[in-house]
Amino acid sequence: MNILLIDSSSKNIEFAFSENSKISINKKLDSEINADSLIFQLLTEFDNSNKSIKNVDVVSLSNGPGSFTGLRIGSAIAKGICFANNCKLVEINTLDIVANKCKDDVDVIALVFSNSRTEEFYYAEYTVDNSKLQRTSEYGIRKIDEISTNDKIILINENNTLLFLKDLDVIDVSGLSNIQSQIELTMDYIKRNQFSDYRTSEPFYMKDFIPLAKR
């Protein structure tokens, strides 16, 4: 089974290609490269590796919450490939991917900054037992002062000085690739036959996008 993994939910865009459980392409783009060039970067990498996008059987998408523009572009690319290849779609919540980067048996809170003027975070709580991830709360969006940490370790995927100023137990996992976490969760989804309908798939925003007013 050939799996294309796409994560354009943050400023560090990643994609990978797994052929029969072996990752043959694994690319993390520079933060200066925006999501608009993702399809070009992806096709270029496939061409340079003598791979064909036509051989993709499953597309795994980090489906948000996260960057509005990045999520829209990632979703459009995933849906286009699924349509062209008649392949299956797996959607993984980005907070799950962040939390699954922790392999210690602890209770954690995964955070993704909403990039809004209200300084809110998308969040969810998890427990890790024998390296097995289990979500223990609903997905939510709040300011950090409104989230009950209860001595849980906070995992973030992008450095945010606001959290460190709060003197919280924060671990920045942005230096670790999302791909290994995403492929682990993807394989679990495939085993449980948990696929999405690409025709009706939409990014997981959790909050309506409100553009900033022009000055």
Residue 49 lies in a domain: yes
In the predicted model, what is the mean pLDDT of residues 79-104?
A: 96
182 in the same domain as 161:
no
The DSSP code sequence of 7-75 is E-SSSS-EEEEEETTEEEEEEE--TTS-GGGHHHHHHHHHHHTT--GGG--EEEEE--SS-HHHHHHHH
Handedness of CA 145, 148, 154, 157 (dihedral sign): negative
Residue 206 has a pLDDT of 67
Q: Give, as one character, the DSSP assignment of residue 214.
A: P
Q: Does one domain contain both 83 and 155?
A: no
- Binned at pLDDT 50, 70 and 90, residue 11 comes out as confident
Domain assignment present for residue 79? The answer is yes
Asked if 160 and 143 touch (Cβ cutoff 8 Å), the reply is no
Look at the chain and report how many structural domains it folds into: 2
Is residue 165 predicted with pLDDT exceeding 80?
no
Provide the domain limits for residue 68: 2-93+177-191
**Same domain for 18 and 85?**
yes
Question: Are residues 83 and 116 both part of a single domain?
Answer: no
pTM listed for this prediction: 0.92
Q: Are 72 and 134 part of one and the same domain?
A: no
pLDDT at 116: 67
Give the pLDDT confidence of 33-85 residue by residue, as tens digits.
878 899 999 999 999 999 999 999 999 999 999 988 999 999 999 999 999 99
The mean pLDDT value of the chain amounts to: 90
